[in-house]
Structure formats: structure tokens, C-alpha cells
Amino acid sequence: MSTAKSRIWDLPTRLMHWALVISIAVCWWTGTHNDLDYHIYSGYAALWIVLMRIYWGFAGASTAQFKNFVRGPRAVIAYVRTLHWRNTAHTPGHNPLGALSVLALLGVVLTVVVQGLFAVDVDGLYSGPMSLYVTFKKGRHLAHLHYQWFEYLLYVIGLHLAAVAFYYVHKRHNLVTPMITGKAHIEEEMTGAPLWRFVLGAVVISAFVWAVSKGFYIF
Amino acid sequence: MSAFRIRCVAVAALFVATAATVAFADPPPAAQIKPRQDKLRDMGGALKAITDEIKKGRIDWDNAVIPNAQTVKDRSVYILNWFPKGSGPEAHVKTYALPAIWQKFDDFTKQGKQLQADAAKLQQVANAKDEAGLKAQVQTIGKTCKACHDPYRSPDYEKDNEE
């Protein structure tokens, strides 16, 4: 193993990762404590982060791009067969199985957020900005699905944490520190993306989330 | 008229009165649960329709706010009739009404009357097409709903998906 550290996660990817953790925690707390004013804001934050992460999966650093880590079922099965090995090499970016975890997390968070955009509370007082387009009954149904799918999200997060713990204990791979510092003892270095791409995406996606928050009644 | 005939008429009158009482008496408490839920849901739907207008930023008073404020007001008038003793969990019909309603019925009644006052005010500001007043009153009525729902409605309603 080389002692030099290489950059494997760029700053936007790391910031989005931890910001998503915080926003989901705030969503969870405010949702279960019926603090729906802040719940709606933290939901917008989660929406912004997930959309940015998806955009970064096309325009971001090499290790953030989907085309570099999302693999077919054969690669996933081949990887799973070697999962119990203890001496596997560190590879930059996500492994084929971890890729599924990334997709599942982004997909489930996005699903929960979209359900929330259309959800209505039982008293008809708090509702997502897009609930203008659905009936009270439909909005209530979506509120229930929003609640139900959040539980699925907790399971996916649990699986993600269990995987991180498994790598740490079984394979002696610390995955948490690189997600904070961006660096790991790996030969290969990632290729970063220019800052302007992040700024461009941030501007466009902020405008979109703002329009969503107005239920597209913006003119 | 003989005493016997008077007695006959009295008994007959008693029968009629009893029959009438049975026929026109309130339905058994359990039968209140479903219509009560429907009516409360109507109120929720009406409030959603009003908040939708506020969110759009261009309020349709005549087609949306006024009729829905009317619904809230009309329903609120009867709200305290929907909770006869025996229409709680002991009715064995699915309900989120907690026994606390009947344990603290004075407080519950006070809350219901507060809603009636707030709903009347809501209708007033709606009819006056007073936008600032409407926004404020929706907030007020929301607090009233919550003040009663928090102690008297089981939080399980969030978990079930049967509405």
C-alpha cells in the first residue's frame, strides 16, 4: 500500500453528502415533531441536494460520475462473490455494489421528497407546494405514502451504515475519513471538475426548486 | 269518561311517546363515527382549498374562498354534537378519538366553541374579501385545530393508510 494520499472525492461531492445527512436529519426531526414550517424548508434543501448530486453524476468529478461507477448485473454479481475477501484493494470511487446503494439512496430520497411536495396534512393547513394540483383525498394518500416511504429510506440508510461498518471491521477499510478529507491511500487520483460547472448547476437547480416552492405560480 | 278508559288512553299515549322517542332518538354513538370523520375531512378539504388560493397569490374569492369558508363554518356549528359518549375507542369502530375527550369534556367543549368562533370569523373575512384578514384567520384557526387534535386525537392516524 502506498503511503501517499490521493484525492478521491471532490469538495462538492463531500459537501453534498454531509449536507444531505443534515437535511434528512432535520426533515426527520421536524416531521416527527409536527414542525411543518421547518419541515418544508428542510425538504427543499434535500430536493436541491439530490438534484445537484444527480447533475454532478453527469458533470462532476470522475469519481462522482455515474458512468464511472454504475455497472451491470454481471459486475455486481462478480463483486458480491469477492465481498467476503479481507484483502481486497482500495479502489477509487464506488464499487459496483456501492453504486446500487448510491442509486437506491438518491432514488428513495427523491421519491420521498416528491411525495412530500404533493402531500397535505390531515387538517388541510400544511401542504406541499405542488398540492395545488391534487385533491385533498389524493394529497392525504400521498402524505401517507410520504410517511411510509420515509421508513423505507431509513432501512436503506441502515443498510448503507451497515456496509460502512462491515468495510471498517471486516476489510479494515475506513470509508468515513475519505468522505470528510477527500483523500485516501490509493494509487489512482480522481479528475476534478471546474468550479463554474458547479455554480452553473447550482443556479439552474436553485431556480427550479424556487419555482417548485411556488407551485409554479411564479408570474 | 270512566277511570278505565282514561287509563287506556294514558297507556296508549305512553306507547306512542316511547315509540316516537325510539324512532327519532339519536342513533347509537358508534354510528356517529363514520359521518364525523367524513365531516371533519370536509373541513380539512375546505381549508386546503383556502390555503391553495393563498399560495397561488391570486385569490378566487367567489369560487373558492367564500364557499369553502361557508363549509368550515357550517360544519363547525355541529362539531360538538359529533362526540356523544360511547363514540370513542369503546365503540369498536375504527376511530382516532381518544378517551381523553370524554374524561375532559369541559375542556373539549371549550375547544369546540373556540373553533365555532374562529370559523364564524373566517367566514366574515372571506365574505369581506379581506386578504390580510384571511391569512391571519387561517393561521388562527390552524392553531385551534392543532390545540384540540394534539391532546384528543391519536397520532396513529399518520401511520394508517385508510383514508
What CATH number does residue A168 fall under?
Answer: 1.20.950.20
Q: Which helix (H) or strand (E) holds B43?
A: helix B33-56
Query: Among candidates A7, A13, A9, A39, which has minimal Cα distance to A26?
Result: A39
Contact call for A135 and B45, based on CB within 8 A: yes
Between these two residues, A208 and B9, which has the higher pLDDT value? A208
Give me the residues of B, 22-41, that contact A with CB < 8 A: 41
Quick check: B162 pLDDT over 60? no
Q: Is B46 on the interface with A (CB under 8 A)?
A: yes
pLDDT digits (tens, 9 = 90+) for A128-148: 999 999 999 999 999 999 999
- Average pLDDT (A198-215) is 97
Q: Return all residues near A194 (Cβ < 8 A) that are at least 6 apart.
A: none
Q: What is the pLDDT of residue B44?
A: 93
Give me the residues of B, 86-115, that contact A with CB < 8 A: none
B28/chain A closest Cα distance in angstroms = 26
From the list B46, B149, B160, the residue facing A124 with the nearest CB is B46
Q: Grid coordinates representing A104?
A: 437506491
Local confidence band at A1 (pLDDT 50, 70, 90 cut-offs): very low
Give me the residues of B, 134-153, that contact A with CB < 8 A: 138, 142, 145-146, 149
Q: Grid coordinates representing B96?
A: 382516532
Contact call for A125 and B138, based on CB within 8 A: yes
Residue A1, domain member (yes or no)? no
**pLDDT averaged over every residue in chain B:** 88
> Around Cβ B62, how many Cβ atoms within 10 Å?
9
The helix-helix angle for A36-59 and A96-118 (nearest 10°) equals 140
| Contacts A–B by Cβ distance under 8 A | 64
Domain total in chain A = 1
Show the domain range for A151: 6-213
Residue A21, domain member (yes or no)? yes
From the list A124, A141, A215, the residue facing B44 with the nearest CB is A124
pLDDT digits (tens, 9 = 90+) for B51-93: 999 998 889 999 999 999 999 999 999 999 999 999 999 888 8
Angle at A12 between CA A9 and CA A17, to 5 degrees: 75
Rounded-to-integer distance, Cα A9 and Cα A172, Å: 19
A115/chain B closest Cα distance in angstroms = 14
- From chain A, the residues in CB contact with B65 under 8 A are none
Quick check: A218 pLDDT over 90? no
Query: Among candidates B26, B146, B151, B162, which has minimal Cα distance to B86?
Result: B26
Local confidence band at A34 (pLDDT 50, 70, 90 cut-offs): confident
Residue A167, domain member (yes or no)? yes
- Average pLDDT (A41-59) is 97
Q: A interface toward B at CB cutoff 8 Å?
A: 120, 122-125, 127, 129, 131-132, 135-137, 139-141, 143-145, 147-148, 214-215, 217
Residue A85, domain member (yes or no)? yes
Q: What is the pLDDT of residue A187?
A: 79
ipTM over 0.95: no
Residue A106, domain member (yes or no)? yes
The helix-helix angle for A195-213 and A36-59 (nearest 10°) equals 140
DSSP string of A27-58, one letter each residue: HHHHHHTT-HHHHHHHHHHHHHHHHHHHHHHH
- Domains plus CATH for chain B? 28-157 (1.20.120.10)
| Closest residue of chain B to A150, computed from CA coordinates | B159
Residue A133, domain member (yes or no)? yes
pLDDT digits (tens, 9 = 90+) for A99-110: 999 999 999 999
Rounded-to-integer distance, Cα B79 and Cα B68, Å: 16
pTM for the full predicted model? 0.83
Quick check: B106 pLDDT over 70? yes
What percent of chain B has a predicted confidence (pLDDT) above 90?
67
Local confidence band at B27 (pLDDT 50, 70, 90 cut-offs): low
> Around Cβ B9, how many Cβ atoms within 10 Å?
11
Q: Is B62 on the interface with A (CB under 8 A)?
A: no
Contact call for B55 and A215, based on CB within 8 A: yes
The helix-helix angle for A136-169 and A96-118 (nearest 10°) equals 160
Local confidence band at B18 (pLDDT 50, 70, 90 cut-offs): low
Helix, strand, or coil (residue A107): helix
Residue A124, domain member (yes or no)? yes
A56/chain B closest Cα distance in angstroms = 32
